[in-house]
Structure 1
Amino acid sequence: MRYTRTVPLLAILLIAAGLLSGCSRQEIYEAAMRYERSSAGLVPDTISVDGRKIAYLHNEDMHDGDTIVMLHGFAADKENWLRMAAELTDQYNVYAIDLPGHGASNKDLDRAYGISDQVGYVNDILDALQLSQVHMVGNSMGGAITALYAATYPDRIKTATLLDPAGIFEYDSELVGLVLKGENPLVVSKPGDFEKLVDFALEKKPFVPWPIYSVMEQKAIANHAINQHIFLEIRDSGYQPEFRDSIENIRAPVLIVWGKQDRVINYRNADVFSARIPHSQKVILDGVGHAPMIEVPEQTATMLRRFIEQPDTIITADAD
């Protein structure tokens, strides 16, 4: 396990050194990201898919073992997986992808971003990366994509792990009430919104120094238009019966992990996913919000590793 508790201290030292040397907040942010990627054993890369740039992270040192593909959620990016990936790259080949419209990948306002559209994009990306069979992990929107991908391309999925997935909203959440009132904490539009987003989405907030948060907020504000566009494209996906019917066709083992304090998507929707997906099991994490891979990365990685190695074994929150 490469990631250690020295990271917050090192981040502080990076910031202090940056301030003393006159570095900008952007330079401090980039230095911190380089350190986190290195600690996770990952390096950034890009590939052209259908004439569009796709950014991703992959192992610095590749293995002969299995491959894990990680799909982030709405308005997020590949860096969301760094702390969890740090627990896995010693054994697995990890690919964390910036989905189209996100991160450093192309952001086209005239492109379709429905869940089924994104499943097609992911398949094209895996083709371009020459990844034939993978373990796929997705959070939120990425969880819905993972579930539908597993149903659509069963021969390419060894296991699927859904972390607080979108796609089914039978039980309303706090977010639904806010959106109905015309508020959306997931779309950052002005200074101060990013902190509200973090507070809303995460129950266990990791240490992130102010200069880094500041740059992340700037990026989120700059992405307001594309994020608003994508949100409108995926907003009603959880009310489409086709999605529920499709996931009944998943053949691979599926692990559903949900934070009980998720304010974005109600954790009780885990029961609906579990009832629909034939070979599935669920784990509810008390004290965790919408992003287990950020909030409890070691615990989430441990469950994933156990599930990949023994998919027929009952996985619990304290899996070892």
Structure 2
Amino acid sequence: MKKILFAVISLAVLVGGYLILGSIYKYELYELAMNAEKSRAGLIEKQVKINGINVSYLEGEKPEGKPTMLLIHGFAANKENWLRFAGNLADDYHLVAVDLLGHGKSTKDKSLRHDLDDQVAYLVNFLNAKGLTKVHLVGNSMGGAISSLFAAMHSDRVLSVSLVNPAGIFDHRSVLADYLDRGENPLVVKKLDDIYTLMDFAMEEKPFMPWPVPEVVAERSMANQDLNEQIFKHLKSTEHAYNFKEELGKIKAPVLIMWGEQDRVINYKNSDIFDQLIPNSRKLIYPDIGHVPMIEIPQRSSQDIHAFIEKNV
């Protein structure tokens, strides 16, 4: 009996010690996990300061003669959303994944503007600072809306556009709209458990995400809650310096519209409107996928984009 009691106590001490050490070093463990993913994708994290604004980004090697692909994440997300997607394209493109203003490790300042056209302007400054003239754009959700505007306003700098469940058109009602009507927003993390609610809401095919990754992501999102709410409110406003639907007609580059049919954030039926308004577009629907195909099916979605570029550019 004493041996059993000793074993139980020893196990409790070990587990308790593990939890304490894990809690202390969870950010270090998170960085180790992210660095391993970046290494597998062939990406290096970098920083550049432009007009007082710090921009954080991931960059891969530039294969000789290969074009640049700029990856633009969505609302309340970050450049790391593209890690597993990017790893499939490293041999064919010079990959750059950027943290948008107010997101990730880029500057967070509530006094700055974060509307779609403002983000386009920040990205133009970023490309100029990097000496990049023409790029393939790939944008998810809010990043898809930004990519659309970028391609319309700076057509001479765009080789192709891949819109992954893009925001900007909400003619067909989504599940998210029902939440917003009740005063809830599952896209804004306010407490630790919200990260799991968000993952369930945004994804149909959730990848394995080991501890402490979800907890660290949640804590960083919570720290950015006020700015996220401000950005979301601005995006949902009807007062902008542009007419989004009219801008789509100005896009000259070939466009691939990709959408998960189980998207609860933005109804996939809005893809029809994008397809109608963009002059040179193709549409691809994934039946069993949610809002972030590049995370849910990174290999398939990256292959589809590569095949589209090979055929149309």
**Alignment match, 1:73:** 74
**Alignment match, 2:12:** none
CA distances 1:186-227 after superposition (whole Å, capped 9, x unpaired): 001112111101110111100001211111111111111111
How far is the alpha carbon of 1:62 from its aligned partner? 2.1
1:229 and 2:230 correspond = yes
Structure 1 residues not aligned, in runs of 5+? 1-15, 313-320
Query: CA separation of 1:291/1:215 partners in 2, compared to 1, >3 Å: closer, same or farther?
Result: same
- SS at the partner of 1:44? strand
Q: Distance in 1 between matches of 2:151 and 2:171?
A: 21
- SS at the partner of 1:310? helix
How far is the alpha carbon of 1:128 from its aligned partner? 1.0
Structure 2 residues not aligned, in runs of 5+? 1-14
Query: CA separation of 1:85/1:222 partners in 2, compared to 1, >3 Å: closer, same or farther?
Result: same
How many residue pairs get aligned? The number is 295
**Alignment match, 2:5:** none
> Under a length normalisation based on structure 2, what TM-score does the superposition of the two structures give?
0.91
**Alignment match, 2:11:** none
How far is the alpha carbon of 1:308 from its aligned partner? 1.4
**Alignment match, 2:45:** 44
How far is the alpha carbon of 1:161 from its aligned partner? 0.4
How far is the alpha carbon of 1:236 from its aligned partner? 3.0
Q: Distance in 1 between matches of 2:241 and 2:62?
A: 40
1:256 and 2:292 correspond = no
**Alignment match, 1:148:** 149
CA distances 1:94-135 after superposition (whole Å, capped 9, x unpaired): 000000000000001011111111111111111111110000
In structure 1, give the amino acid aligned to 2:99.
Answer: D
**Alignment match, 2:63:** 63
In structure 1, give the amino acid aligned to 2:303.
Answer: T
1:115 and 2:116 correspond = yes
Aligned sequence identity (%)? 44
How far is the alpha carbon of 1:310 from its aligned partner? 1.0
Q: Distance in 1 between matches of 2:161 and 2:210?
A: 33
In structure 1, give the amino acid aligned to 2:278.
Answer: I
Runs of 4+ deviating beyond 2 Å = 19-23, 236-241
**Alignment match, 1:287:** 288
Q: Distance in 2 between matches of 1:283 and 1:39?
A: 28
Q: Distance in 2 between matches of 1:49 and 1:35?
A: 28
How far is the alpha carbon of 1:90 from its aligned partner? 1.6
Tell me how large the CA RMSD over aligned residues is.
Answer: 1.9
CA distances 1:2-32 after superposition (whole Å, capped 9, x unpaired): xxxxxxxxxxxxxx9xx59945111110100
In structure 1, give the amino acid aligned to 2:45.
Answer: P
**Alignment match, 1:195:** 196
Q: Distance in 2 between matches of 1:48 and 1:188?
A: 28
User: Contact 2:188–2:225 at 8 Å: present in 1 too?
Assistant: yes
How far is the alpha carbon of 1:177 from its aligned partner? 1.3
> Under a length normalisation based on structure 1, what TM-score does the superposition of the two structures give?
0.89
User: Contact 1:169–1:238 at 8 Å: present in 2 too?
Assistant: no
In structure 2, give the amino acid aligned to 1:193.
Answer: D
Q: Distance in 2 between matches of 1:55 and 1:237?
A: 30
Q: Distance in 2 between matches of 1:179 and 1:239?
A: 21
- SS at the partner of 1:268? helix
User: Contact 1:168–1:238 at 8 Å: present in 2 too?
Assistant: no
Query: CA separation of 1:20/1:186 partners in 2, compared to 1, >3 Å: closer, same or farther?
Result: closer
Q: Distance in 2 between matches of 1:87 and 1:78?
A: 16
